[in-house]
Structure 1
């Protein structure tokens, strides 16, 4: 259900994935699309002039142009550089904030993710020391290493 708070391009993409077996039937896609809309968007849809939309592509373009302000703006890569573990913040809390920010960046930057995550840790943190002594080469390996240290931290609490 699209509520205006999530990325509308993602919504259209997810709708297309759910109804892919009917993608050749434009009329049906146009008739089913409103079922994925919340109340505000339904008012917009109900207000469309009859016959003003001739294809599903046209409907999604009209939808995207009407609700363009609801589009998610990707974060710039340098937003990761401002990430740092806060005083009294657990590794889990820092990790949650970090990955939330990382996921808002639209490209694949494993090397930058690894470096910025490490630099955000206090210099005396055991995980930072481990990442310095035995660097990882991809985010999957970083997550594995983090999980090891997270289990240790959670065991101490």
Structure 2
């Protein structure tokens, strides 16, 4: 259900994935689309003038235009590059914050993420020293390495 507060482009994309087998039947897609609207979006839909939309494409364009202010704006790579671990912040809290920001960036920046995570740690941090000796070769390996250090930090 679209609640009027989330990204309309993502909603249309998810809807298209769910109804892909009926992609050629525009009338059905339009009828099913409005059944996935919450109260705010339904009021908008009910307010459409009769005959103002003649295709599913026009419907989704009008929908996106109406709810454009809810669109998710991807973060820039600079947002990730400017992150650093705060004084007194645990590795768990920092890594959660880091990966949340990483997931908000569009593009393939795994290599940058691996390198910037290391340099964003305090110079005396054990994980930074470990990553200096043996740099992770993938984001998954980096996350596994971080998890080991989070367990050590938790045990202390």
Normalised to the residue count of structure 1, the TM-score between the two structures is 0.93
Deviation, structure 1 residue 108: 0.7
Deviation, structure 1 residue 155: 2.4
Unaligned runs of 5+ in 2: none
* Structure 2 counterpart of 1:122: 122
* Structure 2 counterpart of 1:73: 73
Counterparts of 1:1-150 in structure 2, within 5 Å, are: 1-150=1-150
Structure 2 counterpart SS, 1:112: helix
Q: CA offsets per residue over residues 9-61 of structure 1, 9 Å max, x none?
A: 11110111111222221111101112222221111100011122111111101
Runs of 4+ deviating beyond 6 Å: none
Deviation, structure 1 residue 3: 2.1
Deviation, structure 1 residue 75: 0.7
Unaligned runs of 5+ in 1: none
Structure 2 counterpart SS, 1:72: coil
